[in-house]
């Protein structure tokens, strides 16, 4: 029997109705900080996608005749590093790598975390098993995961994203689990079950759409964490490998001559901070818009 034949008009579903989403969008548009965050993100994404066009030089191109040019020097808007590489070009490409890792990591967390969270929140029998799994993953902080992965498979962008993604899974599971648990006990879900809907139908039609707000908010929180995490790993040499530009490796290089050329340490850090801040601002505004009762 298919669920669709059996389900008579489902009970009013407060979350999936378009007016609520529209109201959320309206609230989001009224939040100046949220808009600012979104604008910065849009610029950052655009800049990193267009990096090959926008960057004045290749990120690896060295100018041995022009090391440690201060920002504002003609031809080098943000200065150069010890090898005379253009900081602006390296930032643009580094940003690209950062966003890539951030999105990949969170995508992994979504793909694994959402189904597990749904299952844990919905089926009591699975809850204990999945909770142990969550505990287990939490016992390995992302840096240790990255250390282990780097030891086994060698350091790379992919492994950094994998380690960061795995470390985001428990958080995602918890958020989805508690949302599912809450929604499962609401009247409209119970009504649907009474109508004879299958569990999968209820999860897909009622629980997931309503849990989506929480998932989106969690994702916007997770991405900046992953971006910062990537810079940490690359800084330690466990992530993106030179000569590929990354904001983390730029900072690792800068460490040795920061006193001489402070901009090489300041600019990449500011870039990471700006992007993370933009994500956090947008995420906060989104959360407030989706759930007006909650506040940070």
Partner 1 sequence: MRSYLLHRLWQSAVTLVLATIVVFLGVRALPGDPALAFAGEERDPASLAAIRERLGLNDSLVVQYGKFVLGALRGDLGTSTRTGIPVSTMIGTGLPVTIELSLLALLVAIVLGVTTGVVAAVRRGRPAEWFANALALLGLSVPNFWLGLIAILYLAVGLGLFPASGFVPFGEDPVANLHHLVLPALVLGTGIAAIVMRQTRSAMLESLGADYIRTARAKGASPRAVIGRHALRNSLVVVVTVVGLQLGILISGAVVTERIFGLPGFGKMTIDAVFQRDYPVIQGVVLVTAAAYILINFLVDVAYSLIDPRIRVAGGQS
**Residues found near partner 1 in the complex (CB under 8 A):** 131-132, 135-136, 138-144, 147-148, 150-152, 167, 224, 228-229, 231-232, 235-238, 251, 254-255, 258-259, 262, 265-266, 268-269, 272-274, 276-277, 279-281, 284, 294-296
The minimum distance between CB 72 and partner 1, in angstroms, equals 20
Choose between 6 and 151: whose C-beta lies nearer to partner 1.
151
Three-class secondary structure assignment of the chain: CCHHHHCCCCCCCCCCCHHHHHHHHHHHHCCHHHHHHHHHHHHHHHHHHCHHHHCCCCCCCCCCCCCCCCCCECCECCCECCCCCEHHHHHHHHHHHHHHHHHHHHHHHHHHHHHHHHHHHHCHHHHHHHHHHHHHHHCCCHHHHHHHHHHHHCCCHHHHHHHHHHHHHHHHHHHHHHHHHHHHCCHHHHHHHHCCCCHHHHHHHHHHHHHHHHHHHHHHHHHHHHHHHHHHHHHHCCCCCCCCCCHHHHHHHHHHHCCCCHHHHHHHHHHHHHHHHHHHHHHHHHHHHHCCCCCC
Choose between 147 and 193: whose C-beta lies nearer to partner 1.
147
The minimum distance between CB 280 and partner 1, in angstroms, equals 5
Choose between 145 and 203: whose C-beta lies nearer to partner 1.
145
Choose between 201 and 263: whose C-beta lies nearer to partner 1.
263
The minimum distance between CB 8 and partner 1, in angstroms, equals 36
The minimum distance between CB 261 and partner 1, in angstroms, equals 10
Choose between 206 and 239: whose C-beta lies nearer to partner 1.
239
The minimum distance between CB 264 and partner 1, in angstroms, equals 10
């Amino acid at each position: 029997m298919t669920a669709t034949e059996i389900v008579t008009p489902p009970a009013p579903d407060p979350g999936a109705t378009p007016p609520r989403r529209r109201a959320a969008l309206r609230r989001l548009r009224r939040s100046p900080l949220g808009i600012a965050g979104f604008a910065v993100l849009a610029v950052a994404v655009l800049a990193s996608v267009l990096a090959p066009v926008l960057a004045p030089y290749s990120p690896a191109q060295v100018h041995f005749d022009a090391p440690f040019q201060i920002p504002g020097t003609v031809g080098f808007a943000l200065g150069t590093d010890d090898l005379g590489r253009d900081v602006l070009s390296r930032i643009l490409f580094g940003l690209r790598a950062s966003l890539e890792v951030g999105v990949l990591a969170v995508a992994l967390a979504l793909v694994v975390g959402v189904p597990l969270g749904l299952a844990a929140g919905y089926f009591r029998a699975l809850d204990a098993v999945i909770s142990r799994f969550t505990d287990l993953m939490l016992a390995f902080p992302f840096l240790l995961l990255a250390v282990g992965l780097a030891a086994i498979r060698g350091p790379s962008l992919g492994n950094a994203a994998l380690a960061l993604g795995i470390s985001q899974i428990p958080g995602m599971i918890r958020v989805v689990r508690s949302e599912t648990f809450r929604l499962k006990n609401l009247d409209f879900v119970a009504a649907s079950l009474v109508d004879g809907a299958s569990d999968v139908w209820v999860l897909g039609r009622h629980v997931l759409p309503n849990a989506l707000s929480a998932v989106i908010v969690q994702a916007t929180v997770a991405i900046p964490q992953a971006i910062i995490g990537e810079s940490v790993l690359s800084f330690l040499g466990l992530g993106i490998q030179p000569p590929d530009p990354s904001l983390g490796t730029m900072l690792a290089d800068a460490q040795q001559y920061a006193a001489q050329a402070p901009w090489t340490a300041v600019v990449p850090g500011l870039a990471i901070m700006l992007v993370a801040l933009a994500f956090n601002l947008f995420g906060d505004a989104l959360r407030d818009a989706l759930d007006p009762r909650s506040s940070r």
